[in-house]
Structure 1
Amino acid sequence: MKPDSQNVTDYTNNNTIFMVWSFKDGLEVKDTFSQLCKLIINLNNSANIRFPISRASCVMGIGHDAWLRLGLPLPLPKELTNFAPIAGDKHTAVSTKGDLHFHIRADTTSICYDMTSAITDLLSPVAISTEEIHGFRYWDSRSILGFVDGTENPHGQDREFFSMVADEDPVYEGGSYLFTQKYIHNLTAWKGLSTEQQEKVIGRYKANDIEMSDDVKPSNSHIALANVGDELKIVRDNMPFGSMSTNEMGTYFIAYASTFSTVQQMLSNMFIGSPEGNYDRILDFSTAKTGSLFFVPTFNMVDDFSSN
Protein backbone atom coordinates (compact mmCIF):
# COMPACT_ATOMS: atom_id res chain seq x y z
CA MET A 1 0.00 0.00 0.00
CA LYS A 2 1.28 3.48 -0.85
CA PRO A 3 2.10 5.40 2.35
CA ASP A 4 -0.45 8.11 1.58
CA SER A 5 -3.31 5.86 0.46
CA GLN A 6 -6.17 4.71 2.63
CA ASN A 7 -6.10 1.02 3.48
CA VAL A 8 -7.83 -0.45 0.43
CA THR A 9 -5.33 -3.25 -0.20
CA ASP A 10 -5.54 -5.17 3.08
CA TYR A 11 -7.09 -8.62 3.18
CA THR A 12 -10.45 -9.32 4.81
CA ASN A 13 -10.46 -9.18 8.58
CA ASN A 14 -12.44 -11.15 11.14
CA ASN A 15 -14.85 -8.31 11.92
CA THR A 16 -16.14 -5.55 9.68
CA ILE A 17 -18.75 -2.81 9.89
CA PHE A 18 -19.95 -1.12 6.72
CA MET A 19 -21.89 2.14 7.00
CA VAL A 20 -23.56 4.36 4.41
CA TRP A 21 -24.61 7.88 5.40
CA SER A 22 -26.66 10.51 3.57
CA PHE A 23 -26.60 14.19 4.46
CA LYS A 24 -29.86 15.77 5.58
CA ASP A 25 -31.37 18.37 3.25
CA GLY A 26 -31.04 22.06 3.99
CA LEU A 27 -28.20 21.86 6.48
CA GLU A 28 -24.67 23.25 6.37
CA VAL A 29 -22.42 20.20 6.41
CA LYS A 30 -18.96 21.47 5.47
CA ASP A 31 -17.80 22.13 9.03
CA THR A 32 -18.90 18.67 10.17
CA PHE A 33 -17.18 17.10 7.18
CA SER A 34 -13.98 18.98 8.04
CA GLN A 35 -14.16 17.54 11.56
CA LEU A 36 -14.90 14.11 10.10
CA CYS A 37 -11.73 14.20 8.01
CA LYS A 38 -9.70 14.97 11.13
CA LEU A 39 -11.46 12.12 12.91
CA ILE A 40 -10.73 9.57 10.13
CA ILE A 41 -7.02 10.42 10.24
CA ASN A 42 -7.07 10.23 14.05
CA LEU A 43 -8.86 6.86 14.13
CA ASN A 44 -6.37 5.27 11.73
CA ASN A 45 -3.29 6.74 13.43
CA SER A 46 -4.55 5.73 16.85
CA ALA A 47 -5.33 2.18 15.74
CA ASN A 48 -1.84 1.79 14.29
CA ILE A 49 -0.27 2.85 17.58
CA ARG A 50 -2.63 1.18 20.06
CA PHE A 51 -3.44 -2.04 18.21
CA PRO A 52 -0.57 -2.65 15.76
CA ILE A 53 -1.35 -6.34 15.20
CA SER A 54 -5.12 -5.98 14.89
CA ARG A 55 -5.02 -4.82 11.23
CA ALA A 56 -7.54 -2.15 12.19
CA SER A 57 -8.49 0.60 9.75
CA CYS A 58 -11.33 2.87 8.69
CA VAL A 59 -11.65 3.68 4.98
CA MET A 60 -13.88 6.61 3.95
CA GLY A 61 -15.43 6.95 0.49
CA ILE A 62 -17.29 9.99 -0.85
CA GLY A 63 -20.19 9.91 -3.31
CA HIS A 64 -20.66 12.13 -6.37
CA ASP A 65 -23.39 14.40 -4.97
CA ALA A 66 -21.61 14.80 -1.65
CA TRP A 67 -18.40 15.73 -3.48
CA LEU A 68 -20.23 18.63 -5.15
CA ARG A 69 -22.19 19.68 -2.05
CA LEU A 70 -19.01 19.80 0.00
CA GLY A 71 -17.22 21.91 -2.60
CA LEU A 72 -14.38 19.42 -3.02
CA PRO A 73 -11.83 19.86 -5.84
CA LEU A 74 -12.91 20.04 -9.47
CA PRO A 75 -12.73 18.39 -11.88
CA LEU A 76 -13.95 15.30 -10.05
CA PRO A 77 -12.19 11.95 -10.32
CA LYS A 78 -12.73 10.96 -13.96
CA GLU A 79 -15.19 8.12 -13.33
CA LEU A 80 -16.98 9.37 -10.21
CA THR A 81 -20.68 9.55 -11.08
CA ASN A 82 -23.95 8.47 -9.56
CA PHE A 83 -24.20 4.77 -10.30
CA ALA A 84 -26.81 4.11 -13.01
CA PRO A 85 -28.91 0.95 -12.68
CA ILE A 86 -27.99 -1.97 -14.93
CA ALA A 87 -31.15 -3.80 -15.96
CA GLY A 88 -31.23 -7.19 -17.58
CA ASP A 89 -34.29 -9.08 -18.75
CA LYS A 90 -34.72 -10.70 -15.32
CA HIS A 91 -32.48 -9.00 -12.75
CA THR A 92 -31.39 -5.42 -12.04
CA ALA A 93 -28.34 -3.95 -10.36
CA VAL A 94 -30.19 -1.20 -8.53
CA SER A 95 -28.87 2.26 -7.73
CA THR A 96 -29.19 3.69 -4.21
CA LYS A 97 -28.18 7.01 -2.70
CA GLY A 98 -25.11 7.33 -0.55
CA ASP A 99 -23.02 10.36 0.37
CA LEU A 100 -20.38 8.73 2.59
CA HIS A 101 -19.25 5.14 3.00
CA PHE A 102 -17.20 3.76 5.87
CA HIS A 103 -15.39 0.41 5.80
CA ILE A 104 -14.29 -0.36 9.36
CA ARG A 105 -12.36 -3.55 10.13
CA ALA A 106 -10.26 -5.13 12.85
CA ASP A 107 -9.47 -8.48 14.40
CA THR A 108 -11.30 -7.29 17.51
CA THR A 109 -14.98 -6.33 17.51
CA SER A 110 -14.40 -3.67 20.19
CA ILE A 111 -12.22 -1.57 17.87
CA CYS A 112 -14.87 -1.63 15.14
CA TYR A 113 -17.55 -0.67 17.66
CA ASP A 114 -15.62 2.31 19.02
CA MET A 115 -14.76 3.63 15.53
CA THR A 116 -18.41 3.31 14.49
CA SER A 117 -19.55 5.07 17.65
CA ALA A 118 -17.18 8.02 17.13
CA ILE A 119 -18.30 8.51 13.51
CA THR A 120 -21.97 8.22 14.48
CA ASP A 121 -21.66 10.78 17.28
CA LEU A 122 -20.19 13.30 14.86
CA LEU A 123 -22.45 12.71 11.85
CA SER A 124 -25.84 12.17 13.47
CA PRO A 125 -26.80 15.87 13.71
CA VAL A 126 -26.36 16.42 9.96
CA ALA A 127 -26.76 13.01 8.33
CA ILE A 128 -28.77 9.79 8.40
CA SER A 129 -27.30 6.32 8.49
CA THR A 130 -29.06 4.47 5.68
CA GLU A 131 -27.12 1.21 5.95
CA GLU A 132 -25.17 -0.52 8.68
CA ILE A 133 -23.90 -4.02 8.05
CA HIS A 134 -21.93 -6.06 10.60
CA GLY A 135 -19.88 -8.57 8.63
CA PHE A 136 -18.00 -11.54 9.98
CA ARG A 137 -15.50 -14.08 8.73
CA TYR A 138 -17.36 -17.32 8.01
CA TRP A 139 -15.10 -20.36 8.34
CA ASP A 140 -12.33 -20.26 5.70
CA SER A 141 -13.58 -17.02 4.05
CA ARG A 142 -16.79 -18.58 2.74
CA SER A 143 -19.98 -16.73 1.95
CA ILE A 144 -23.26 -17.81 3.55
CA LEU A 145 -23.84 -19.82 0.36
CA GLY A 146 -21.00 -22.10 1.47
CA PHE A 147 -18.40 -21.29 -1.20
CA VAL A 148 -15.07 -19.54 -0.66
CA ASP A 149 -15.39 -15.86 -1.64
CA GLY A 150 -12.56 -13.81 -3.15
CA THR A 151 -10.37 -16.55 -4.63
CA GLU A 152 -9.83 -14.48 -7.79
CA ASN A 153 -8.53 -11.48 -5.84
CA PRO A 154 -5.10 -10.16 -6.89
CA HIS A 155 -2.24 -10.67 -4.45
CA GLY A 156 0.91 -8.81 -3.42
CA GLN A 157 1.76 -5.70 -5.41
CA ASP A 158 -1.03 -6.50 -7.88
CA ARG A 159 -3.53 -5.44 -5.23
CA GLU A 160 -2.21 -1.90 -5.38
CA PHE A 161 -2.07 -1.92 -9.20
CA PHE A 162 -5.69 -3.00 -9.62
CA SER A 163 -7.20 -1.03 -6.72
CA MET A 164 -5.57 2.41 -7.01
CA VAL A 165 -5.72 5.19 -9.55
CA ALA A 166 -2.42 5.67 -11.35
CA ASP A 167 -1.02 8.52 -13.46
CA GLU A 168 -3.92 8.43 -15.93
CA ASP A 169 -5.65 10.78 -13.44
CA PRO A 170 -2.64 12.35 -11.68
CA VAL A 171 -4.60 14.64 -9.33
CA TYR A 172 -6.25 11.58 -7.79
CA GLU A 173 -3.33 9.14 -8.01
CA GLY A 174 -3.36 6.75 -5.05
CA GLY A 175 -7.12 7.05 -4.60
CA SER A 176 -9.62 4.30 -5.37
CA TYR A 177 -13.07 3.80 -6.79
CA LEU A 178 -15.30 2.02 -4.29
CA PHE A 179 -18.44 0.20 -5.37
CA THR A 180 -20.79 -1.54 -2.94
CA GLN A 181 -23.87 -3.75 -3.14
CA LYS A 182 -25.88 -5.49 -0.43
CA TYR A 183 -27.09 -8.88 -1.62
CA ILE A 184 -29.81 -10.86 0.15
CA HIS A 185 -29.76 -14.61 -0.47
CA ASN A 186 -32.76 -16.91 -0.84
CA LEU A 187 -31.26 -19.67 1.27
CA THR A 188 -34.37 -21.85 1.11
CA ALA A 189 -34.12 -22.05 -2.67
CA TRP A 190 -30.34 -22.39 -2.53
CA LYS A 191 -30.43 -25.25 -0.05
CA GLY A 192 -32.96 -26.95 -2.29
CA LEU A 193 -30.17 -27.49 -4.85
CA SER A 194 -27.84 -30.44 -4.67
CA THR A 195 -24.15 -29.74 -4.10
CA GLU A 196 -23.49 -30.54 -7.77
CA GLN A 197 -26.16 -28.05 -8.87
CA GLN A 198 -24.74 -25.38 -6.56
CA GLU A 199 -21.26 -25.95 -7.98
CA LYS A 200 -22.55 -25.37 -11.50
CA VAL A 201 -24.11 -22.07 -10.40
CA ILE A 202 -20.79 -20.89 -8.95
CA GLY A 203 -18.33 -22.58 -11.35
CA ARG A 204 -16.20 -24.01 -8.54
CA TYR A 205 -16.17 -27.19 -6.50
CA LYS A 206 -17.52 -26.53 -3.04
CA ALA A 207 -15.19 -28.52 -0.81
CA ASN A 208 -11.79 -27.71 -2.29
CA ASP A 209 -12.49 -24.31 -3.98
CA ILE A 210 -11.03 -25.48 -7.31
CA GLU A 211 -12.41 -23.80 -10.42
CA MET A 212 -14.12 -26.04 -12.95
CA SER A 213 -12.40 -26.55 -16.27
CA ASP A 214 -13.80 -24.57 -19.18
CA ASP A 215 -15.38 -27.63 -20.75
CA VAL A 216 -17.31 -28.35 -17.52
CA LYS A 217 -18.04 -24.85 -16.17
CA PRO A 218 -21.42 -23.53 -17.41
CA SER A 219 -21.29 -20.30 -19.43
CA ASN A 220 -23.81 -18.71 -17.06
CA SER A 221 -21.91 -19.62 -13.88
CA HIS A 222 -20.80 -16.84 -11.57
CA ILE A 223 -17.10 -17.46 -12.21
CA ALA A 224 -17.56 -17.43 -15.99
CA LEU A 225 -19.31 -14.04 -16.00
CA ALA A 226 -17.96 -12.11 -12.99
CA ASN A 227 -14.29 -12.52 -13.94
CA VAL A 228 -13.63 -10.26 -16.91
CA GLY A 229 -10.00 -11.19 -17.57
CA ASP A 230 -6.54 -11.07 -16.02
CA GLU A 231 -6.08 -7.50 -17.24
CA LEU A 232 -9.25 -6.28 -15.51
CA LYS A 233 -9.25 -7.20 -11.85
CA ILE A 234 -10.61 -5.61 -8.69
CA VAL A 235 -9.89 -6.02 -4.98
CA ARG A 236 -12.97 -7.54 -3.35
CA ASP A 237 -13.45 -7.35 0.40
CA ASN A 238 -16.85 -9.05 0.60
CA MET A 239 -18.23 -10.10 3.98
CA PRO A 240 -21.19 -12.27 4.95
CA PHE A 241 -23.82 -11.00 7.37
CA GLY A 242 -27.08 -12.32 8.70
CA SER A 243 -29.99 -12.16 11.10
CA MET A 244 -31.76 -15.37 12.02
CA SER A 245 -34.78 -13.52 13.44
CA THR A 246 -35.50 -11.62 10.21
CA ASN A 247 -34.10 -14.31 7.89
CA GLU A 248 -32.06 -11.60 6.15
CA MET A 249 -28.89 -13.44 5.21
CA GLY A 250 -26.53 -12.04 2.65
CA THR A 251 -23.23 -10.81 1.31
CA TYR A 252 -21.98 -7.24 1.32
CA PHE A 253 -20.10 -6.90 -1.95
CA ILE A 254 -17.37 -4.28 -1.85
CA ALA A 255 -14.88 -3.60 -4.64
CA TYR A 256 -11.89 -1.28 -4.74
CA ALA A 257 -10.73 -0.54 -8.27
CA SER A 258 -8.36 1.70 -10.20
CA THR A 259 -11.15 2.32 -12.68
CA PHE A 260 -14.90 1.93 -12.25
CA SER A 261 -15.31 0.75 -15.85
CA THR A 262 -13.86 -2.60 -14.77
CA VAL A 263 -16.62 -3.06 -12.20
CA GLN A 264 -19.21 -1.86 -14.71
CA GLN A 265 -18.13 -4.50 -17.23
CA MET A 266 -18.42 -7.19 -14.58
CA LEU A 267 -21.92 -6.02 -13.60
CA SER A 268 -23.01 -5.88 -17.22
CA ASN A 269 -21.88 -9.47 -17.74
CA MET A 270 -23.73 -10.58 -14.62
CA PHE A 271 -27.04 -8.74 -15.03
CA ILE A 272 -27.43 -8.33 -18.79
CA GLY A 273 -25.43 -11.38 -19.75
CA SER A 274 -22.59 -12.32 -22.08
CA PRO A 275 -23.98 -12.80 -24.63
CA GLU A 276 -27.11 -10.81 -23.75
CA GLY A 277 -29.59 -13.00 -21.92
CA ASN A 278 -26.92 -15.34 -20.57
CA TYR A 279 -27.05 -13.75 -17.11
CA ASP A 280 -25.27 -14.86 -13.95
CA ARG A 281 -27.22 -17.79 -12.51
CA ILE A 282 -26.32 -16.76 -8.96
CA LEU A 283 -28.75 -13.84 -9.33
CA ASP A 284 -31.64 -16.31 -9.19
CA PHE A 285 -30.67 -16.80 -5.53
CA SER A 286 -29.06 -13.46 -4.63
CA THR A 287 -30.89 -10.13 -4.97
CA ALA A 288 -29.04 -6.81 -5.08
CA LYS A 289 -30.78 -4.43 -2.66
CA THR A 290 -28.31 -1.52 -2.93
CA GLY A 291 -25.75 -0.17 -5.38
CA SER A 292 -23.55 2.89 -4.81
CA LEU A 293 -20.30 4.31 -6.15
CA PHE A 294 -17.83 6.30 -4.05
CA PHE A 295 -14.30 7.64 -4.36
CA VAL A 296 -11.68 7.00 -1.69
CA PRO A 297 -9.26 9.96 -1.57
CA THR A 298 -5.70 9.69 -0.27
CA PHE A 299 -4.90 10.72 3.29
CA ASN A 300 -3.18 13.85 1.92
CA MET A 301 -6.46 14.85 0.30
CA VAL A 302 -8.41 14.00 3.45
CA ASP A 303 -6.00 16.22 5.39
CA ASP A 304 -6.55 19.04 2.89
CA PHE A 305 -10.33 18.61 3.20
CA SER A 306 -10.03 18.93 6.99
CA SER A 307 -8.78 22.51 6.69
CA ASN A 308 -11.29 23.71 4.09
Structure 2
Amino acid sequence: MNPDSQNVTDYTNNNTIFMVWNFKENLEVSAVFKKLCKLVINLNNSVNVRFPVSRASCVMGIGYDAWLRLQLPVPLPKELANFVPIDGEKHTAVSSKGDLHFHIRADNTSICYDMAAAISDILSSVAVSTEEIHGFRYWDSRSILGFVDGTENPQGQDRELYSMVGSDDGLYKGGSYLFVQKYIHNLTSWKELSTEQQEKVIGRYKSNDIEMADDVKPSNSHIALANVGDELKIVRDNMPFGNMSTNEMGTYFIAYASTFSTVKKC
Protein backbone atom coordinates (compact mmCIF):
# COMPACT_ATOMS: atom_id res chain seq x y z
CA MET A 1 0.00 0.00 0.00
CA ASN A 2 1.14 3.53 -0.76
CA PRO A 3 2.32 4.98 2.61
CA ASP A 4 0.39 8.17 1.83
CA SER A 5 -2.88 6.32 1.19
CA GLN A 6 -5.81 6.63 3.54
CA ASN A 7 -7.00 3.53 5.34
CA VAL A 8 -9.80 2.47 3.00
CA THR A 9 -8.93 -1.24 3.07
CA ASP A 10 -9.58 -1.96 6.75
CA TYR A 11 -12.53 -4.13 7.71
CA THR A 12 -15.69 -2.76 9.28
CA ASN A 13 -15.45 -2.00 12.98
CA ASN A 14 -17.98 -2.06 15.81
CA ASN A 15 -18.78 1.67 15.67
CA THR A 16 -18.80 4.21 12.88
CA ILE A 17 -19.69 7.86 12.42
CA PHE A 18 -20.34 9.13 8.91
CA MET A 19 -20.40 12.90 8.41
CA VAL A 20 -21.09 15.07 5.36
CA TRP A 21 -20.12 18.75 5.38
CA ASN A 22 -20.75 21.51 2.85
CA PHE A 23 -18.76 24.72 2.69
CA LYS A 24 -20.60 27.98 3.33
CA GLU A 25 -20.83 30.42 0.44
CA ASN A 26 -18.60 33.48 0.01
CA LEU A 27 -15.98 32.41 2.54
CA GLU A 28 -12.27 31.71 2.20
CA VAL A 29 -11.94 28.06 3.15
CA SER A 30 -8.43 27.07 2.05
CA ALA A 31 -6.70 27.93 5.34
CA VAL A 32 -9.20 25.93 7.38
CA PHE A 33 -8.94 23.03 4.94
CA LYS A 34 -5.16 22.91 5.42
CA LYS A 35 -5.66 22.77 9.20
CA LEU A 36 -8.24 20.04 8.68
CA CYS A 37 -5.84 17.90 6.64
CA LYS A 38 -3.20 18.19 9.36
CA LEU A 39 -5.82 17.30 11.97
CA VAL A 40 -6.95 14.14 10.15
CA ILE A 41 -3.34 12.97 9.86
CA ASN A 42 -2.79 13.71 13.55
CA LEU A 43 -5.98 11.93 14.60
CA ASN A 44 -4.99 8.78 12.72
CA ASN A 45 -1.47 8.80 14.13
CA SER A 46 -2.71 9.46 17.65
CA VAL A 47 -5.29 6.67 17.81
CA ASN A 48 -2.81 4.19 16.32
CA VAL A 49 -0.32 5.00 19.08
CA ARG A 50 -2.78 5.29 21.97
CA PHE A 51 -5.25 2.55 21.01
CA PRO A 52 -3.36 0.13 18.73
CA VAL A 53 -5.93 -2.66 19.00
CA SER A 54 -8.95 -0.43 18.38
CA ARG A 55 -8.48 -0.40 14.57
CA ALA A 56 -9.55 3.24 14.65
CA SER A 57 -9.25 5.50 11.63
CA CYS A 58 -10.68 8.54 9.90
CA VAL A 59 -10.93 8.68 6.11
CA MET A 60 -11.72 12.02 4.47
CA GLY A 61 -13.32 12.27 1.03
CA ILE A 62 -13.44 15.41 -1.14
CA GLY A 63 -16.26 16.13 -3.59
CA TYR A 64 -15.85 17.46 -7.12
CA ASP A 65 -17.15 20.96 -6.35
CA ALA A 66 -14.94 21.22 -3.27
CA TRP A 67 -11.90 20.11 -5.27
CA LEU A 68 -12.43 23.01 -7.66
CA ARG A 69 -13.20 25.54 -4.93
CA LEU A 70 -10.10 24.58 -2.97
CA GLN A 71 -8.03 24.76 -6.16
CA LEU A 72 -6.54 21.35 -5.54
CA PRO A 73 -4.06 19.86 -8.05
CA VAL A 74 -4.87 19.62 -11.73
CA PRO A 75 -5.38 17.56 -13.71
CA LEU A 76 -8.11 16.15 -11.51
CA PRO A 77 -8.42 12.42 -10.86
CA LYS A 78 -9.57 11.01 -14.20
CA GLU A 79 -13.04 10.00 -13.07
CA LEU A 80 -13.77 12.54 -10.33
CA ALA A 81 -17.24 13.97 -11.05
CA ASN A 82 -20.55 14.81 -9.45
CA PHE A 83 -22.88 11.84 -9.36
CA VAL A 84 -25.69 12.07 -11.91
CA PRO A 85 -29.07 10.81 -10.59
CA ILE A 86 -30.29 7.50 -11.99
CA ASP A 87 -34.03 7.16 -12.53
CA GLY A 88 -35.34 3.61 -12.23
CA GLU A 89 -38.81 2.21 -12.78
CA LYS A 90 -39.66 2.41 -9.07
CA HIS A 91 -36.85 4.32 -7.39
CA THR A 92 -34.33 7.06 -8.08
CA ALA A 93 -30.70 7.05 -7.05
CA VAL A 94 -30.51 10.68 -6.02
CA SER A 95 -27.53 13.01 -6.07
CA SER A 96 -26.96 15.16 -3.00
CA LYS A 97 -24.23 17.72 -2.44
CA GLY A 98 -21.26 16.79 -0.30
CA ASP A 99 -18.06 18.79 -0.17
CA LEU A 100 -16.38 16.70 2.52
CA HIS A 101 -17.19 13.21 3.77
CA PHE A 102 -15.74 11.63 6.90
CA HIS A 103 -15.72 7.91 7.63
CA ILE A 104 -14.75 7.46 11.27
CA ARG A 105 -14.51 3.99 12.79
CA ALA A 106 -13.28 2.33 15.98
CA ASP A 107 -14.18 -0.48 18.32
CA ASN A 108 -14.91 2.12 21.01
CA THR A 109 -17.61 4.77 20.63
CA SER A 110 -15.57 7.26 22.66
CA ILE A 111 -12.82 7.28 20.04
CA CYS A 112 -15.32 7.93 17.25
CA TYR A 113 -16.91 10.74 19.21
CA ASP A 114 -13.62 12.48 19.98
CA MET A 115 -12.50 12.39 16.34
CA ALA A 116 -15.86 13.69 15.11
CA ALA A 117 -15.83 16.47 17.71
CA ALA A 118 -12.31 17.57 16.78
CA ILE A 119 -13.26 17.75 13.10
CA SER A 120 -16.43 19.68 13.87
CA ASP A 121 -14.55 22.21 16.00
CA ILE A 122 -12.36 23.13 13.03
CA LEU A 123 -14.97 22.99 10.28
CA SER A 124 -17.96 24.71 11.90
CA SER A 125 -16.70 28.23 11.10
CA VAL A 126 -16.67 27.64 7.33
CA ALA A 127 -18.97 24.68 6.71
CA VAL A 128 -22.32 23.18 7.65
CA SER A 129 -22.87 19.58 8.67
CA THR A 130 -25.68 18.19 6.51
CA GLU A 131 -25.58 14.54 7.53
CA GLU A 132 -24.38 12.55 10.52
CA ILE A 133 -25.05 8.84 10.82
CA HIS A 134 -23.96 6.65 13.71
CA GLY A 135 -23.53 3.09 12.49
CA PHE A 136 -23.02 0.00 14.61
CA ARG A 137 -22.10 -3.64 14.19
CA TYR A 138 -25.37 -5.59 14.34
CA TRP A 139 -24.80 -9.09 15.71
CA ASP A 140 -22.58 -11.10 13.33
CA SER A 141 -22.23 -8.32 10.72
CA ARG A 142 -25.89 -8.34 9.75
CA SER A 143 -27.80 -5.50 8.17
CA ILE A 144 -30.84 -4.12 9.94
CA LEU A 145 -32.85 -6.48 7.69
CA GLY A 146 -31.33 -9.45 9.51
CA PHE A 147 -29.08 -10.78 6.74
CA VAL A 148 -25.27 -10.88 6.86
CA ASP A 149 -23.89 -7.96 4.84
CA GLY A 150 -20.49 -8.04 3.16
CA THR A 151 -20.00 -11.76 2.54
CA GLU A 152 -18.88 -11.16 -1.06
CA ASN A 153 -16.55 -8.29 -0.15
CA PRO A 154 -12.97 -8.65 -1.44
CA GLN A 155 -10.63 -10.16 1.13
CA GLY A 156 -6.92 -9.80 1.87
CA GLN A 157 -4.80 -8.16 -0.82
CA ASP A 158 -7.80 -8.01 -3.16
CA ARG A 159 -9.17 -5.19 -1.02
CA GLU A 160 -6.33 -2.94 -2.16
CA LEU A 161 -6.67 -4.08 -5.78
CA TYR A 162 -10.36 -3.21 -6.01
CA SER A 163 -10.43 -0.12 -3.78
CA MET A 164 -7.38 1.88 -4.86
CA VAL A 165 -6.52 3.80 -8.01
CA GLY A 166 -3.84 2.04 -10.03
CA SER A 167 -0.96 3.13 -12.23
CA ASP A 168 -3.31 4.10 -15.07
CA ASP A 169 -3.85 7.36 -13.17
CA GLY A 170 -0.36 7.62 -11.74
CA LEU A 171 -0.71 11.05 -10.12
CA TYR A 172 -3.44 9.65 -7.87
CA LYS A 173 -2.20 6.08 -7.48
CA GLY A 174 -3.18 4.83 -4.05
CA GLY A 175 -6.19 7.12 -3.86
CA SER A 176 -9.76 5.87 -3.98
CA TYR A 177 -13.17 6.81 -5.34
CA LEU A 178 -15.75 7.12 -2.58
CA PHE A 179 -19.47 6.63 -3.11
CA VAL A 180 -22.18 6.65 -0.44
CA GLN A 181 -25.93 6.09 -0.31
CA LYS A 182 -28.32 6.23 2.63
CA TYR A 183 -31.04 3.58 2.45
CA ILE A 184 -34.14 3.81 4.64
CA HIS A 185 -35.87 0.46 5.15
CA ASN A 186 -39.57 -0.04 5.78
CA LEU A 187 -39.16 -2.59 8.55
CA THR A 188 -42.88 -2.81 9.20
CA SER A 189 -43.48 -4.18 5.70
CA TRP A 190 -40.31 -6.26 5.80
CA LYS A 191 -41.34 -8.01 9.01
CA GLU A 192 -44.66 -8.97 7.45
CA LEU A 193 -42.77 -11.25 5.05
CA SER A 194 -41.99 -14.80 6.08
CA THR A 195 -38.34 -15.83 6.42
CA GLU A 196 -38.65 -17.78 3.17
CA GLN A 197 -40.01 -14.72 1.36
CA GLN A 198 -37.24 -12.55 2.76
CA GLU A 199 -34.64 -15.07 1.60
CA LYS A 200 -36.01 -14.94 -1.93
CA VAL A 201 -35.77 -11.15 -1.90
CA ILE A 202 -32.12 -11.28 -0.84
CA GLY A 203 -31.04 -14.48 -2.62
CA ARG A 204 -29.32 -15.90 0.46
CA TYR A 205 -30.43 -18.04 3.40
CA LYS A 206 -30.91 -16.01 6.54
CA SER A 207 -29.60 -18.31 9.26
CA ASN A 208 -26.41 -19.71 7.68
CA ASP A 209 -25.60 -16.92 5.16
CA ILE A 210 -25.31 -19.36 2.24
CA GLU A 211 -26.19 -18.06 -1.22
CA MET A 212 -29.06 -19.81 -2.97
CA ALA A 213 -28.27 -22.05 -5.93
CA ASP A 214 -28.79 -20.39 -9.30
CA ASP A 215 -31.78 -22.59 -10.10
CA VAL A 216 -33.44 -21.56 -6.82
CA LYS A 217 -32.39 -17.93 -6.50
CA PRO A 218 -34.92 -15.53 -8.09
CA SER A 219 -33.53 -13.54 -11.03
CA ASN A 220 -34.74 -10.31 -9.40
CA SER A 221 -33.18 -11.04 -6.00
CA HIS A 222 -30.72 -8.56 -4.54
CA ILE A 223 -27.71 -10.84 -5.04
CA ALA A 224 -28.62 -11.70 -8.63
CA LEU A 225 -28.99 -8.04 -9.56
CA ALA A 226 -25.89 -6.91 -7.65
CA ASN A 227 -23.57 -9.49 -9.23
CA VAL A 228 -21.97 -7.61 -12.13
CA GLY A 229 -18.74 -9.62 -12.40
CA ASP A 230 -15.45 -9.99 -10.57
CA GLU A 231 -13.79 -7.23 -12.59
CA LEU A 232 -16.25 -4.71 -11.12
CA LYS A 233 -15.79 -5.53 -7.45
CA ILE A 234 -15.70 -2.75 -4.86
CA VAL A 235 -14.86 -2.63 -1.16
CA ARG A 236 -17.95 -1.90 0.92
CA ASP A 237 -18.06 -0.84 4.55
CA ASN A 238 -21.83 -0.71 4.97
CA MET A 239 -23.20 -0.10 8.45
CA PRO A 240 -26.73 -0.37 9.85
CA PHE A 241 -28.25 2.51 11.78
CA GLY A 242 -31.48 3.11 13.63
CA ASN A 243 -33.40 5.90 15.31
CA MET A 244 -36.44 4.77 17.25
CA SER A 245 -37.83 8.28 17.78
CA THR A 246 -38.01 9.01 14.04
CA ASN A 247 -38.55 5.38 12.99
CA GLU A 248 -35.62 5.78 10.60
CA MET A 249 -33.88 2.43 10.21
CA GLY A 250 -31.55 1.65 7.39
CA THR A 251 -28.19 0.94 5.84
CA TYR A 252 -25.46 3.45 5.13
CA PHE A 253 -23.88 2.12 1.96
CA ILE A 254 -20.28 3.18 1.47
CA ALA A 255 -18.01 1.95 -1.30
CA TYR A 256 -14.35 2.47 -2.09
CA ALA A 257 -13.38 1.71 -5.68
CA SER A 258 -10.40 1.91 -8.00
CA THR A 259 -12.54 3.67 -10.62
CA PHE A 260 -15.76 5.65 -10.39
CA SER A 261 -17.11 3.92 -13.51
CA THR A 262 -17.09 0.69 -11.50
CA VAL A 263 -19.42 2.22 -8.93
CA LYS A 264 -21.82 3.51 -11.57
CA LYS A 265 -22.10 0.05 -13.14
CA CYS A 266 -22.74 -1.54 -9.75
Highest RCO, 1 vs 2 (Cα 8 Å, sep ≥ 6): 1
Read off the aligned partner of 1:256 and give its amino acid letter: Y
* Per-residue Cα deviation, 1:55-89 (whole angstroms, up to 9, x for no partner): 00000000000000000011111111000001112
Counterpart in the other structure of 1:134 = 134
Q: CA deviation at 1:111?
A: 0.5
Aligned residues, how many?
266
Counterpart in the other structure of 2:119 = 119
Read off the aligned partner of 1:219 and give its amino acid letter: S
Counterpart in the other structure of 1:249 = 249
Q: How far apart are the structure 1 equivalents of 2:135 and 2:85?
A: 25
- TM-score, normalised via structure 2 length: 0.99
Counterpart in the other structure of 1:184 = 184
Counterpart in the other structure of 2:104 = 104
Counterpart in the other structure of 2:89 = 89
Q: How far apart are the structure 2 equivalents of 1:4 and 1:53?
A: 21
- TM-score, normalised via structure 1 length: 0.86
Q: CA deviation at 1:230?
A: 1.3
Q: How far apart are the structure 2 equivalents of 1:101 and 1:227?
A: 27
Q: How far apart are the structure 2 equivalents of 1:101 and 1:246?
A: 24
Read off the aligned partner of 1:197 and give its amino acid letter: Q
Q: CA deviation at 1:227?
A: 2.0
| Residues 1:46 and 2:46 are matched in the alignment | yes
| Residues 1:233 and 2:222 are matched in the alignment | no
Q: How far apart are the structure 2 equivalents of 1:210 and 1:230?
A: 19
Counterpart in the other structure of 1:4 = 4
Counterpart in the other structure of 1:171 = 171
Q: How far apart are the structure 1 equivalents of 2:24 and 2:156?
A: 40
Read off the aligned partner of 1:141 and give its amino acid letter: S
Q: How far apart are the structure 2 equivalents of 1:260 and 1:171?
A: 16
Q: How far apart are the structure 1 equivalents of 2:228 and 2:51?
A: 37
**SS at the partner of 2:162?**
helix
Q: How far apart are the structure 1 equivalents of 2:53 and 2:227?
A: 32
* Per-residue Cα deviation, 1:230-260 (whole angstroms, up to 9, x for no partner): 1210000000000111100010000000011
| Residues 1:208 and 2:204 are matched in the alignment | no
| Residues 1:65 and 2:62 are matched in the alignment | no
Q: How far apart are the structure 1 equivalents of 2:70 and 2:227?
A: 36
Q: How far apart are the structure 2 equivalents of 1:150 and 1:156?
A: 14
Q: CA deviation at 1:188?
A: 0.6
* Per-residue Cα deviation, 1:178-206 (whole angstroms, up to 9, x for no partner): 00001100001101111111001100000
Counterpart in the other structure of 1:74 = 74
Read off the aligned partner of 1:13 and give its amino acid letter: N
Q: CA deviation at 1:2?
A: 3.5
Q: How far apart are the structure 2 equivalents of 1:154 and 1:227?
A: 13
Counterpart in the other structure of 1:143 = 143
Q: CA deviation at 1:225?
A: 1.0
* Per-residue Cα deviation, 1:197-221 (whole angstroms, up to 9, x for no partner): 1001100000000001111111111
Read off the aligned partner of 1:109 and give its amino acid letter: T
**SS at the partner of 1:201?**
helix
Q: CA deviation at 1:3?
A: 2.4
Q: How far apart are the structure 2 equivalents of 1:212 and 1:252?
A: 25
* Per-residue Cα deviation, 1:96-122 (whole angstroms, up to 9, x for no partner): 000000000001111000000000000
Q: How far apart are the structure 2 equivalents of 1:23 and 1:192?
A: 43
Counterpart in the other structure of 2:198 = 198
Q: How far apart are the structure 1 equivalents of 2:134 and 2:88?
A: 30
